[in-house]
């Protein structure tokens, strides 16, 4: 049987890296991406090749830059042909009062988190439509559903992802392509490394399950949503341990 190919943005660490490990373990070809910490990405590539004998391409590209994405998708196409699964995972957060946020910071958050999803989907959808198959998972946040104080741009970007997901799912359902989003609560990754021990404890107490999720648990719901359940589409799946 032909191997399937997955492209995961923001895979140098955290949720993206764990997701790459899971897909590699399931026998997929992989394209893994990040924009800055390329050493970590190539270390992961080596690990996936050695541990799982995965065929894996590591590409540095800024997901907010369509020209760099053109390069990435061309390289991916040359190596593996069509992409079967797209995981739009790359994301950043800038915290602070809305009134203190600069126009540049606003644009960085919206372009990295939301415009990137549009750019990457635009790259893969034509071949998915041709193949009448494909699955897209967009990594979102509970703040896109409920909003967070001091994370207005982040919340807006993730809310945009949620609406984008539902709309695109309707457009692509007739072509047998699934589009879903996972709205994560609090996951134990570098994105949350700014918390003090006390803040972490307080936050964990707010969560019904009493703890942060691990990146592996986050990866498992991404994989399951992407690879299984052929009838599941247009959903924003809240994965927050009963937090909100």
**Distance between CA atoms of 92 and 90, rounded to whole angstroms?**
7
Shortest distance in whole angstroms from residue 242 CB to ligand NAD: 15
Shortest distance in whole angstroms from residue 16 CB to ligand NAD: 5
Phi, psi of 59 (to 5 degrees): -130, 125
Closest residue by Cα to residue 147 from 173, 183, 175:
183
Shortest distance in whole angstroms from residue 178 CB to ligand NAD: 19
Smaller CB separation from ligand NAD, 11 or 125: 11
Smaller CB separation from ligand NAD, 75 or 133: 75
**Distance between CA atoms of 203 and 206, rounded to whole angstroms?**
5
Shortest distance in whole angstroms from residue 68 CB to ligand NAD: 8
71 is catalytic: no
Catalytic residue among 52, 119, 154, 223: 154
Smaller CB separation from ligand NAD, 28 or 154: 154
- List Cβ neighbours of 224 (8 Å cut-off, separation of 6 or more): none
Q: Which residues form the interface with ligand NAD (CB under 6 A)? A: 9-16, 33-37, 62-64, 89-92, 112, 139, 141, 184, 186-187, 189-192
Smaller CB separation from ligand NAD, 47 or 129: 47
Q: Which residues of 198-213 are buried (b: 16+ CB within 10 A; e: fewer)?
A: eebeebbeebeeeebb
DSSP state of 242: T
Residues annotated as part of the active site: 154
């Amino acid at each position: 049987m032909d191997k399937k190919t997955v492209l995961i943005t923001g895979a140098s660490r955290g949720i993206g890296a764990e997701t790459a490990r899971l897909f590699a373990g399931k026998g997929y070809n992989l394209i893994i991406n990040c924009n800055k910490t390329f050493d970590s990405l190539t270390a992961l590539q080596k690990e996936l090749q050695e541990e799982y004998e995965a065929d894996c391409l590591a590409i540095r590209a800024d997901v907010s830059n369509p020209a760099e994405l053109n390069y990435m998708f061309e390289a991916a196409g040359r190596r593996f042909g069509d992409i079967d699964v797209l995981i739009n995972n790359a994301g950043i957060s800038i915290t602070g009062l809305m009134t203190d946020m600069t126009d540049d910071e606003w644009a960085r958050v919206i372009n990295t988190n939301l415009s990137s999803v549009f750019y990457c989907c635009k790259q893969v959808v034509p071949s998915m439509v041709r193949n009448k198959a494909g699955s897209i998972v967009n990594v979102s946040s509970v703040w896109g559903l409920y909003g967070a104080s001091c994370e207005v741009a982040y919340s807006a970007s993730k809310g945009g992802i949620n609406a984008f997901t539902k709309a695109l799912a309707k457009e692509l359902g007739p072509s047998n392509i699934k589009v879903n989003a996972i709205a994560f609560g609090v996951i134990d990754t570098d994105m949350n490394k700014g918390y003090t021990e006390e803040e972490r404890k307080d936050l964990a107490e707010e969560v019904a399950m009493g703890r942060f999720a691990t990146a592996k648990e986050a990866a498992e719901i991404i994989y399951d949503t992407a690879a299984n359940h052929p009838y599941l589409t247009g959903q924003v799946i809240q994965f927050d341990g009963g937090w909100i």
